[in-house]
Copies of this chain bind each other. A is one copy, B any other.
Amino acid sequence: MLIVMHHSATSEQIERVIAEIEAMGLKAEPIPGSLRTAIGVLGNQGYVDDTTIRNLPGVRETIHVSKPYKLVSRDFHPQSTLVEVGGAVFGDGHPPVIIAGPCSIESEEQMLMAARQVSAAGAHMLRGGAFKPRTGPHSFQGLGVEGLKYLRQAGNAVGLPVVTEVMRIEQLPVVCEYADMLQIGARNMQNFDLLKEVGKTGYPVLLKRGMSATIEEFLAAAEYILAEGNDRVVLCERGIRTFERATRNTLDLSVVPLIREMSHLPIIVDPSHATGKRALVPIMGKAALVAGAHGLMIEVHPDPARALCDGAQSLDTDGFGALMAELQRLQAVL
């Protein structure tokens, strides 16, 4: 950590900062400049909580060299983590895992048909939402536990593992009963209590990036799960909120190689939520694989025009089949 003092900081203020650092068992190294003094902090093992120091008089800013996460960092864990879910493996050296299915589970028939179709096209995991976070209270909110049962049945029928979103802690037991992997949605990325509880289950977790989360916050959120002893975490980029509204969100693909460099955890991409436009999904899905994604999450609906949720971004069966064929060809050169 580096502490930058105000240019008008007095030598008493500088000495108080040094004393404070030493009181924390660390070493302080003043670096007097022509305009202001900076103080280097040595001897820390990882991130230092700078609250006390940042508040001292004369301190202009504190600059962290260490990061607020450690368990997810590749610095301390150079080997890439593999996350296995019902036979599908996310991570380096394995082909990308394609997760497909409808945004929301609407009926037993719809879910089963979707499962049959995505399975036939070659998907490796099945998705479907039973509890839906919706911007307004007057929209369809999901089938709940009944939906979970349909998802499980559909997964069993076609032999695919299933992933579904858990929105609150009370839902955890029932979701764990029916699902193979727990999804944390973008709106819950910083629901820290939920992260901790999900961490305790030991289940594989699909953690979506918050819509305005920096990479650092994204990794710090994953740290909450790993801190509970659960390292079966797959990260998911799904677009961030920017001034550009021509797409639903702005897909931040550069995050994929960057996170692969910074963390040992696998990362996948959800081009459906990122773009919000069916026509862009296959193209951006392919681009994501080229960017190094360990998998994709794709919304597929047997009849998008009749979807109760996000139909505009769902592929139909033919569209998904065509995409799978293209991904196949692409992988050959990756």
**Could you tell me which A residues sit within 8 Å of B by CB distance?**
2, 4, 7, 29, 31-36, 38, 40, 42-47, 49, 51-52, 54-57, 63, 65-66, 68-69, 75, 133-140, 167-170, 187-188, 190-194, 196, 211-212, 214-217, 220, 223-224, 227, 240-247, 250-258, 261, 274-275, 277, 279-280, 283-284, 286-288, 290-292, 304-312, 314, 329-330, 332-333
- The docked-state distance in angstroms from the alpha carbon of A277 to that of B49 is 18
Closest B residue, CB atoms, query A328: B333
Copies per assembly: 4
Residue A32 contacts which of B42, B193, B252 (CB distance < 8 angstroms)? B42
Residue A250 contacts which of B188, B250, B310 (CB distance < 8 angstroms)? B250
Q: Say whether B307 contacts A51, CB under 8 Å.
A: yes
Q: Which residues of B contact A241 (CB under 8 A)?
A: 212, 243
Q: Say whether A192 contacts B137, CB under 8 Å.
A: yes
Known: A134-B192, A192-B137, A304-B55. A279 touches B254 (CB 8 A): no
Residue A261 contacts which of B215, B279, B306, B332 (CB distance < 8 angstroms)? B279
- The 20 listed contacts between A and B (C-beta, < 8 Å) are A2-B40, A33-B44, A36-B65, A52-B305, A68-B135, A68-B136, A68-B138, A134-B192, A136-B223, A137-B223, A138-B227, A167-B193, A169-B170, A212-B243, A243-B243, A246-B258, A250-B252, A251-B252, A251-B253, A257-B279
